[in-house]
């Protein structure tokens, strides 16, 4: 396992980590090779370590609305998970248990005996897997609009319920067609390479209450990453591993550490129903005036919930 502070920037990088870090006052870019993959992460602040994991289709940069405030009280480590951003994109290893092991090896390399861990979307699934598999390394767990894959996913509708597939996602009968689309191997990258901004713009409009809170810079950053075929292929592999994740979940014992679930208007009711089955010490917070991307829409509410829970 190795640590380094530098990386080789591709000529295709339009929004390099070295430039984006200027939006994270007091943070530094880092790179580490752990569990056979090279991960990019940024860190800043002092105090108890708080590991932060992003989701699809974003990168470490998605934490920019909340990172500086969190770093006032915690040593914040934001990781580009396996397959994301500047991290390696291997052909395999996208089940959440393997990805959680990536994070464990990084935690051990950094010398932390125990961490708070926080994840949004796919990052929430990995954070939960970390807590399930490595409870002795987990102090407190925070999941935002994303919990570990379960058999309930098998009940998701292939077709939208009549009258519900509109400009904004219907919280009562959500239709997440991309969960199926991302199962397809080879085709999405052929369709979306160099054109990913079309998917981004549609997705932000559909799952956010105020899509204007996702800035032009945010969109450009994520489009620059996901325009590459390898990034699309790797990100879709997070979804293609769900069946293995579901099988793994059948072996897990309920979480005993404190758990905070934060749900948007889309996910709050589903998280409130599902998390009590797997978390003994659970607190739920609903940010119901926000869509899926809560860091961008309601950062102060996210910070209030997280800081109150951790302190």
pLDDT tens digits, 280-310? 999 999 999 999 999 999 999 999 999 999 9
- Tell me what the mean pLDDT of segment 52-76 comes to: 98
Whether the pLDDT of residue 13 is over 70: the answer is: no
Q: Which two tokens stand for residue 33?
A: 């090779």
- Tell me what the mean pLDDT of segment 246-265 comes to: 98
Tokens 């879709």 identify what position? Answer: 236
Residues 6+ apart with CB under 8 A from 281: 255, 256, 257, 258, 259
**Dihedral of alpha carbons 43, 45, 51, 56, sign:** negative
> pLDDT at position 130, please?
98
Average pLDDT over all residues of the chain? 95
- Tell me what the mean pLDDT of segment 260-282 comes to: 97
H or E segment and range at residue 34: strand 28-34
How far apart are the C-alpha atoms of 152 and 169, rounded to whole Å? Answer: 19
- Which CATH number do you get for residue 199? 3.40.50.1820
Q: What is the pLDDT confidence band of residue 92, given thresholds at 50, 70 and 90?
A: very high
Domain that holds residue 180: 2-310
The model's pTM is: 0.95
Q: What is the pLDDT confidence band of residue 274, given thresholds at 50, 70 and 90?
A: very high
- Do residues 100 and 133 lie in contact, with contact meaning Cβ atoms separated by under 8 Å? yes
**43 beta partners:** 28, 77
How far apart are the C-alpha atoms of 199 and 184, rounded to whole Å? Answer: 16
* Domain total in the chain: 1
Q: What is the pLDDT confidence band of residue 6, given thresholds at 50, 70 and 90?
A: very low
Q: What is the pLDDT confidence band of residue 11, given thresholds at 50, 70 and 90?
A: very low
Whether the pLDDT of residue 1 is over 80: the answer is: no
pLDDT tens digits, 134-147? 999 999 999 999 99
Whether the pLDDT of residue 2 is over 80: the answer is: no
How far apart are the C-alpha atoms of 87 and 102, rounded to whole Å? Answer: 11
- Do residues 31 and 59 lie in contact, with contact meaning Cβ atoms separated by under 8 Å? no
Whether the pLDDT of residue 9 is over 50: the answer is: no
Higher pLDDT, 274 or 12: 274
Whether the pLDDT of residue 10 is over 50: the answer is: no
How far apart are the C-alpha atoms of 212 and 129, rounded to whole Å? Answer: 33
> pLDDT at position 143, please?
98
């Amino acid at each position: 396992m190795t640590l380094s502070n530098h990386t080789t920037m591709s000529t295709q990088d339009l929004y390099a980590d070295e430039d984006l870090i200027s939006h994270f006052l007091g943070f530094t870019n880092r790179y580490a090779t752990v569990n056979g993959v090279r991960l990019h992460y940024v860190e800043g602040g002092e105090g108890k370590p708080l590991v932060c994991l992003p989701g699809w289709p974003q990168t470490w940069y998605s934490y920019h609305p909340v990172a500086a405030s969190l770093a006032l009280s915690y040593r914040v480590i934001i990781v580009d998970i396996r397959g994301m951003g500047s991290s390696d994109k291997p052909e395999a290893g996208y089940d959440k248990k393997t990805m959680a092991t990536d994070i464990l090896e990084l935690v051990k390399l950094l010398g932390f005996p125990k961490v708070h861990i926080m994840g949004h979307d796919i990052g929430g699934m990995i954070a939960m897997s970390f807590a399930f598999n490595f409870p002795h390394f987990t102090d407190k767990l925070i999941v935002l609009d994303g919990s570990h894959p379960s058999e309930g996913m098998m009940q998701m509708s292939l077709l939208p319920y009549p009258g519900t597939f509109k400009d904004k996602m219907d919280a009562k009968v959500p239709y997440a067609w991309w969960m199926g689309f991302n199962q397809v191997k080879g085709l999405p990258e052929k369709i979306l390479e160099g054109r990913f901004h079309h998917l981004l713009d549609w997705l932000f409009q559909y799952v956010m209450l105020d899509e204007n809170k996702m800035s032009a810079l945010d969109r450009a950053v994520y489009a620059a990453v996901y325009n590459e075929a390898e990034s699309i292929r790797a990100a879709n592999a997070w979804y293609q591993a769900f069946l293995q994740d579901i099988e793994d979940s059948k072996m897990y014992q309920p979480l005993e550490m404190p758990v905070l679930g934060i749900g948007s208007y889309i996910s709050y009711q589903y998280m409130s129903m599902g998390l009590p089955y797997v978390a003994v010490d659970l607190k739920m917070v609903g940010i119901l005036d926000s869509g899926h991307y809560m860091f961008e829409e309601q950062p102060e509410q996210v910070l209030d919930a997280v800081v109150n829970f951790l302190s």
